Chains A and B, each alone.
Chain A
């Protein structure tokens, strides 16, 4: 059974209980608090001097953030909207950082007035903005690193190479900012442990180049990238962190501070999308299944290559399905060749590991509402 391989038994039990007891109309996203707490306990545990900042973009639901706040971790944000929720929740500014290398002016002003002290950058224009709106604040430069083996590569939009990074650190210091560190991102859902090797070695090179220019750094920010199980097994967080810790211990001073910005790894496999089958058809030689969540209201990542695991409560013969969302856009196709026993219209279809980058991407395109998030 797929649910035994890709979801833990306690979570599955809670999900079934919720569905049994509740008359909440689908679609909705269930988040298991216990899984979130276990992940928070685990992440950073094997890396010396580390601090964890949850990447709010992964799932910015108010209840989720409130629960994470109660666990005492930090937050990584990118916009005034994300800051507003944290501010409503009373999150202290020293638990917030922003790693968006290109910030809006509105956000920058609000972040500074809120008291946030850590800002990423990777361009001269951003240093100019920061020096004007955030003088004396701690800043860190974003390096490009290889993203091979991550399912959601992202280094092209941001980051600079070594020489440029050095120039930017020097420029930032000249402009009255306090350059403290280096950040990078190995790519989201990264299942290639070697990416961290390459990234950390590159950061070490920059660290030494900066030291030669009289800039003494104290922090590296590992970004995110820890993978979760969707349809196959992945490297464990413990394994990745032990590897990172060994590298860091070899290559950096012992008082180095390490920031980690997990998003998917915290909330992804704590989430189960509860959807309903709204239609079925046979087109050519393909079986089509239509459900009430699609690319536009929650499953945007399916387009970029994330393959989910699905569960239906049917005992019919399994066959291959193309699964599509409810909207009238022909782009709204979630998955193909998914082997499932044939459900009936009205049956529930559950999507596992759907806690991250689902609701946060959702729009109300075509009038389909954004599914509600419920903590269980």
Chain B
């Protein structure tokens, strides 16, 4: 059986997967796209040599990316999903009846097409009438809206550009300005094992612009470092508190998981004070 060696430039660890079959290999304007079949994980989507999702465990990531804020917000109606061309985040968003509109902003149309073909269980909801697909840069989309979005979900490993930069500052300000006064924003922010300092920097950059900033984590088997963080910024509401009843169908996320996903307060404060030594 052939092997796939993952090429994650930021990870101090390398994963190797058995491959039964290469189902697709192509190059879009933005990246190299590959779909392979693994005996344990099933189909896997790989972008520029880094595993994005696998059929077997994508729900951990997508549920945790989406449902925390969808329950912390009192009434999420207008949602923006940036990135996540596989459609998994959109699928989770649409589980909420409150949702009236989803702007699905993916710069690379090819990822959407490949996902439609090979991951129908993930991408199946993107044809819903509430979803508007726009193939453009997410940073550009958020610049041109005015306080009408309830929740923004960044489903990308790099839109934040990680550390504090002029891009980050401008992006976060645009995000703030397109959210309603009760609006909330979540983005993946790397592993607490391998990129603790980066996590702190993203949190600090968010704190400059949003009054409420917090961090929760989820266990993700196929992302290097596994203990992945989600950075949350909110204009008013504490995201630790659920403002809506948990009544959707999920496999991992629940009200119990919501309650324990956030770092304990004291531990979070120690992290931000750079008091955690590893």
Contacts and interface: CB of A to CB of B under 8 A. Distances in A.
B143 A20 contact: no
B201 to A, nearest CB: 11
A347 B168 CA distance: 12
Given A311-B166, A314-B167, A344-B143, A20 B161 contact: no
Nearest to B170: A313
B140 A17 contact: no
Nearest to A21: B208
Contacts of A92: none
B134 interface: no
Contact of B166 (A21, A346, A348): A348
Nearest to A274: B166
A298 B172 CA distance: 29
A16 B165 contact: yes
Interface in B151-209: 161, 164-173, 205, 208-209
Interface string B111-155: 000000000000000000000000000011001000000000000
A320 B139 CA distance: 22
A350 B209 CA distance: 19
A16 B167 contact: no
Contact of B209 (A20, A312, A344, A347): A20
Given A16-B164, A16-B165, A348 B208 contact: no
Interface residues of A, number: 16
Contacts of B139: 344
A156 interface: no
Nearest to B144: A346
Interface in A313-353: 313-315, 344, 346-348, 350
B166 A19 contact: yes
B137 to A, nearest CB: 8
A311 B167 CA distance: 10
A346 B143 contact: yes
B140 A344 contact: yes
Interface in A271-313: 311-313
Contacts of A344: 139-140, 143
Interface string A9-52: 00001001101110000000000000000000000000000000
Interface in A105-138: none
A347 B170 CA distance: 8
Contacts of B173: 20
A13 B208 CA distance: 12
A7 to B, nearest CB: 12
A313 B169 contact: yes
Nearest to B209: A20
B260 to A, nearest CB: 31
Contacts of A315: 161, 167
A234 B216 CA distance: 48
Contacts of A312: 166
A312 B169 CA distance: 11
A347 B137 CA distance: 14
B169 A19 contact: yes
Nearest to B207: A20
A20 B205 contact: yes
A265 to B, nearest CB: 27
A94 to B, nearest CB: 44
A218 to B, nearest CB: 51
A16 B207 CA distance: 13
Interface in A342-376: 344, 346-348, 350
Nearest to B169: A20
Contacts of A20: 169, 172-173, 205, 208-209
Nearest to A19: B169
Contacts of B209: 20-21
Contacts of A16: 164-166, 169
A230 B143 CA distance: 31
A204 B111 CA distance: 75
A55 to B, nearest CB: 31
B205 A313 contact: no
Contacts of A350: 166
Contacts of B161: 315
A346 B140 CA distance: 10
B274 to A, nearest CB: 15
Contacts of A313: 165-171
A108 B131 CA distance: 74
A19 B205 CA distance: 11
B203 to A, nearest CB: 13
A315 B165 CA distance: 11
Q: Tell which of B166, B172, B208, B209 has the most Cβ of chain A within 10 Å.
A: B166
- Max count, chain A CB within 10 A of own CB: residue among B143, B168, B170, B173: B170
A346 B166 CA distance: 13
Nearest to B158: A315
A347 B169 CA distance: 11
A315 B163 CA distance: 13
Most chain B beta carbons < 10 A, residue from A17, A20, A347:
A20
A276 to B, nearest CB: 10
B233 to A, nearest CB: 12
Interface string A172-183: 000000000000
Contacts of A314: 167
Given A20-B209, A315-B167, A344-B140, 13 more contacts: A13-B164, A17-B208, A20-B169, A20-B173, A21-B208, A313-B165, A313-B166, A313-B170, A314-B167, A315-B161, A347-B170, A348-B166, A350-B166
9 contacts: A16-B165, A17-B208, A21-B209, A313-B166, A313-B170, A313-B171, A314-B167, A315-B167, A346-B143
List the 6 closest pairs (A to B, CB-CB), nearest first.
Answer: A313-B166, A20-B208, A313-B167, A20-B169, A313-B170, A16-B169
